[in-house]
Structure 1
Amino acid sequence: MSIPAYLEDRDGEHRLPLRPPGTREESHRTSAEEAEREHQTFLGTLKQTALELFDAGPINGPTDALEALKKIQRLQSSTEAAIAYIMADGVEHVSESFNDLISTEHPHSADEETAAAKSAACYGVDRGSEQIINSNFIAESSVALRESNRKVSKRMFHAKGLRHVCKNTLAALAAGEITVKAAHDIVKFCQDLSPEQISLMEQILLPMAKTAPDEAIYQRARRLHDRLNPDSAENRQRNALAARNVRMWNDEDGMATLQLHHSADVIHSINNSIKHVASQITDPKDSRTQAQVEADAFADVYLNGWPGTEAMPLKPRVSITIPALEMLANPSRGLAELEGYGPIPLGVALKIAADAPSFQRVLTDPWTGAAIDVEPKRYRPSQGLRDLLRHRDQHCGFPGCRRPADSSEIDHIEAYGQGGHTTRQNTHLLCKQHQMFKHALGWKVLACPDGSKTWISPHGLRSITIPESVSNVENFDHLNDHCPQRPEDETTPVVRLTPETRRVLSLDQDEDLPDTGTG
């Protein structure tokens, strides 16, 4: 049994016996000799293993391959230990000087500093609080590691747990003696325990973790946690029930998953009910598998109500961008864009659109795919701009953030109060959290002529983001100050003005496309 994904969200630093920031001695060396000793501890094995792997030369047979795999496992463990050591110490050090950093790392004018202070007050944040410093450092680490904010947040949980709570586990991980999974499971099941109980858990589990499979360590850690946890099983179940939720994530090939996390009796009741509904479908001509029938029954029940009831069907709300020229050219191979998901087959999009109550035209760049204008009909300019940004950006524009357009707001790249205009060039979508990062925590964003954005973190890290609707970045140039170069004439697509094309482009039968002067 593996760790269910939804349980990961319940992990939290507040459940570990962490001392307050500034009192965590592990992150504050008292001498250069101590600093060098720790450097060797956390990076020495990593260096030695990498050299052994390289010096062994090319693989010559299965024995060499297996030996190389063992070294790679040690290398992965040592690398993860180094990341934990660096992240835990890094956030501890930045907490001592974050306010000074915001005002000195990227010099602000007096007006900008006043505006940042007002923004911090507006968002109700203390720029020196542990929570703000932690979340900001996680965002910067996400840029450095090129990983999602959620994954790096989980890394920080493990980093602090290993560095400040499970020190013996970190030492074993740095030496390559245990796997990353075993180390993370030990930290996970040290939550809600006292330092003495954690020491006992390490004493029992670490000798086994050097040879046992990860699954065995997970199961033993879980059982040991339940025995040592002073909280009653009833209280633990009550707290677990408080974390019930519904989650959705996108999969490949036009699929997605909906997950309900609830008490066992509710889940089993729902599962039994779905199986009962599916068992009533006995059409001999139905070629679906049992799993397909159950999945379809579950979807039908949710959208249309249980059989025999008069529940009002739920009309799904989706937004689809269908490229008109692809639809005319080759509808069997074209791709449309499902908002919040990405590309789906054009045929599927046309079936969904068949029930759409209305359409809205979106003008896209034929080379890059980026949305560049939205039909203004029936919309005030502000609504038209929001529609454009929703189609162009599709989600929050902060590096690595995927909060959808409906959870984001229009933000001015150059502040409106400093002369920035409310135009498509000077606006983008940002969620509430990353508006606060930009306006109160020293993050900067620059709009580049090619449509990309360059984000600069408080410590000077740079990350380039591109609007989600852009599908072709071949001619983008993020370094030089000019727009993407268009393809040569011989690669320019040719569109014939057939009656169908005129209809899609809203041209009269005797009207030609305007001359753009490009030949």
Structure 2
Amino acid sequence: MGNPEFTEEYDDEHRLPLLPPGARKESHADSFFASHIEHQLFNGPMMNTAAELFDAGPVSGAADALGRLKKIQRMHSHLEGLTATLLADTVEQIGEGFSDTLAELRSDSPEEAREAERSAGYYRVDPGDEQMINSNFIAEAAIALRETPQMVSKRMFYAKGLRYVCKDTLMALAAGEITLKAARFLVKSAQDLTPEQIEIMEHILLPAAKTASDDSIYQRARRFHDRMNPESAEERRRKSEASRKVSYWIDDDSGMGTIKLNHRADVIKSIASTLRWAADQVNDPDDERTSDQLMADLYADALINGWPGSEGTPLKPRLSITIPALDMLVDPTRALADLEGVGPIPAGLALQLAQDAPSFQRVLTDPWTGAVIDVERKKYKPTQGMKDLLRHRDVHCCFPGCRRSADRSEMDHIDDWAHGGKTDRDNMHLLCKQHQMFKHALGWKIQARPDGTRSWLTPHGLHVIVTPESVDVVESLDHVNDHCPQRPDPRSIPQVQLNSDIRRVLGYPVEPDPLADSA
């Protein structure tokens, strides 16, 4: 049946039997009495469990500790049920009240409303569209939950499924009777089923979900879905094939990464067989690589340099490595460099990569915070110099929670050029296309602060501070009083003599040694 932890995600709320926006009455309590009953249903059990944990006093032994762990698990379920309800209800209510919100903006700030409408026309988006409202709110909820928009988007899928489709499952979750994973497996398996089939699934599986393991519920839900799903096996295969893709991620703290190809089974087997055959042809007795290492190296070489005998790809990416020269001189064994788009890597690996680089670009960083404050300019065009500066200072899109790389982002004025904003490093930052649209057309506001950070205000009033990615030390930044960061007393900073070795590492001209000349 597959491992639920490694199953490819093809979840789509359009595969759930959802009523259209505006017809989802669950998110609009029809009376004061009903709203208070629902408040008690979702908050009462959580309050009782919290009180039990608080009143229990010190732990008296292993059995008592295990009992409290069960209550903590129940508390997690309470919270997740409430979270799902808040997500589904709020985005529905925003859509319902969008016309009133727009009318209020036109009345209170007509020029701002006209500019937002012009920007919406430029980006060819409708701010009142369900998808736009959904993605805009997900970005705000990601700030509130301190999660990525991708994680909150998955939460929203399950939230709508629980609130509007698997309603009994939501009540069992809010009551602390089932786990979050069990609830999500039921929502996932509800895709492509009719409301009647979903009702039968909950009737059969919810009693088991109160005691069985999560994996058991996953297998049972999958089996039920496959029996009840009216779609033919060929149609499911066609949809799966249409979702083929390549994805990748960077592994934490190792300087390594992973690339994943999702394709037809016969294609994957052919690629694996070809790599295995090519690895078996390596007969060099001095080559100490394992078979797995050989296959990995052959795969990488084929994609970057081409299969043996070919010329390779002309699309060689430009990578930037920032190596902290002073750290290297003080303690080379502990120094960390920064590989653009990856993050910290061992300085030894950085030097090895830099050794084969066709050119260097020196990056000047603030010695107290690590922030990039200037970039060596080898071209006269100021726009390229500014782009280089922002690329090294911001590293990625500066929208809260976005990690799109600098190469996938563009320079954007914080204070618009049309309103007197300058094209300088204090008023420029990187934004990807999507979040330029958020800023100009969907009501997000940004302000540059004296300490170099950026203050974002979401459409519904959340404040969030974004610090440039190159800043390592934030303790001296002042987000409250808008002061510039205070520098340490120079007398407390270790003094380093600017000798010829340091000058050479920093790229400065090496002055001749007068003693050597006299000799």
* TM-score class, shorter: over 0.9
Residue 110 of structure 1 deviates from its aligned partner by: 3.5
Moved more, 406-415 or 220-229: 220-229
Q: Which residue of 1 aligns with 2:232?
A: 232
1:29 paired to 2:41: no
Partners of 2:97 and 2:386 in 1: how far apart? 40
Partners of 1:100 and 1:346 in 2: how far apart? 56
Moved more, 487-496 or 90-99: 487-496
Change in Cα spacing, 1:116 to 1:281, as seen in structure 2 (3 Å) is same
Partners of 1:393 and 1:108 in 2: how far apart? 35
Q: Which residue of 2 aligns with 1:369?
A: 370
Q: Which residue of 2 aligns with 1:164?
A: 164
Superposed CA deviations along residues 117-138 of structure 1, whole A, max 9, x for unmatched, are 1001111111111111111111
Residue 498 of structure 1 deviates from its aligned partner by: 1.1
Moved more, 283-292 or 321-330: 283-292
Q: Which residue of 1 aligns with 2:517?
A: none
Partners of 1:337 and 1:103 in 2: how far apart? 48
Superposed CA deviations along residues 422-469 of structure 1, whole A, max 9, x for unmatched, are 111001111111111111111111111111111101111011110000
Contact 1:88 1:163 in 2 (8 A): yes
Contact 1:6 1:261 in 2 (8 A): no
Partners of 1:251 and 1:106 in 2: how far apart? 48
Amino acid at match of 1:497: L
Residue 490 of structure 1 deviates from its aligned partner by: 3.4
Where 1:95 maps in the other structure, the secondary structure is helix
Partners of 1:139 and 1:312 in 2: how far apart? 40
Partners of 2:5 and 2:343 in 1: how far apart? 26
Q: Which residue of 1 aligns with 2:8?
A: 7
Moved more, 234-243 or 499-508: 499-508
Amino acid at match of 2:418: G
Partners of 2:62 and 2:276 in 1: how far apart? 47
Partners of 1:499 and 1:109 in 2: how far apart? 61
1:74 paired to 2:54: no
Partners of 1:404 and 1:313 in 2: how far apart? 21
Residue 311 of structure 1 deviates from its aligned partner by: 4.8
Change in Cα spacing, 1:137 to 1:349, as seen in structure 2 (3 Å) is same
Where 2:96 maps in the other structure, the secondary structure is coil
Superposed CA deviations along residues 138-187 of structure 1, whole A, max 9, x for unmatched, are 11111111111000011111000000000011011111111100100111
Amino acid at match of 2:374: D
Partners of 1:443 and 1:105 in 2: how far apart? 14
Q: Which residue of 2 aligns with 1:295?
A: 296
Q: Which residue of 2 aligns with 1:453?
A: 454
Where 2:383 maps in the other structure, the secondary structure is helix
Change in Cα spacing, 1:454 to 1:316, as seen in structure 2 (3 Å) is closer
Aligned residues: 509
Partners of 2:85 and 2:470 in 1: how far apart? 38
Q: Which residue of 1 aligns with 2:268?
A: 267
Identity, % of aligned positions:
59
Where 1:318 maps in the other structure, the secondary structure is coil
1:38 paired to 2:38: yes
Contact 1:88 1:160 in 2 (8 A): yes
Amino acid at match of 2:405: P
Matches within 5 A, 1:215-226: 215-226=215-226
Q: Which residue of 2 aligns with 1:173?
A: 173
Partners of 2:102 and 2:356 in 1: how far apart? 52
Residue 3 of structure 1 deviates from its aligned partner by: 2.6
Residue 385 of structure 1 deviates from its aligned partner by: 0.6
Matches within 5 A, 1:364-513: 364-510=365-511
Change in Cα spacing, 1:498 to 1:244, as seen in structure 2 (3 Å) is same
Change in Cα spacing, 1:100 to 1:330, as seen in structure 2 (3 Å) is farther
Residue 487 of structure 1 deviates from its aligned partner by: 1.3
Q: Which residue of 2 aligns with 1:516?
A: none
Amino acid at match of 1:393: D
Contact 2:303 2:312 in 1 (8 A): no
Change in Cα spacing, 1:340 to 1:108, as seen in structure 2 (3 Å) is farther
Contact 2:302 2:312 in 1 (8 A): no
Moved more, 484-493 or 244-253: 484-493
Contact 2:106 2:113 in 1 (8 A): no
Contact 1:84 1:162 in 2 (8 A): yes
Contact 1:102 1:458 in 2 (8 A): no
Q: Which residue of 2 aligns with 1:133?
A: 133
Partners of 1:280 and 1:56 in 2: how far apart? 67
Partners of 1:75 and 1:409 in 2: how far apart? 44
Q: Which residue of 2 aligns with 1:514?
A: none
Contact 2:412 2:431 in 1 (8 A): yes
Partners of 2:168 and 2:327 in 1: how far apart? 60
Partners of 2:47 and 2:115 in 1: how far apart? 47
Contact 2:445 2:456 in 1 (8 A): yes
Partners of 2:470 and 2:439 in 1: how far apart? 23
Q: Which residue of 2 aligns with 1:276?
A: 277
Q: Which residue of 2 aligns with 1:111?
A: 111
Amino acid at match of 1:232: S
Superposed CA deviations along residues 459-509 of structure 1, whole A, max 9, x for unmatched, are 110111100000111111111121111112233242311112223444444
Where 1:247 maps in the other structure, the secondary structure is strand
Moved more, 329-338 or 412-421: 329-338
Residue 4 of structure 1 deviates from its aligned partner by: 5.4
Amino acid at match of 1:114: R
Partners of 1:270 and 1:223 in 2: how far apart? 31
Change in Cα spacing, 1:492 to 1:12, as seen in structure 2 (3 Å) is same
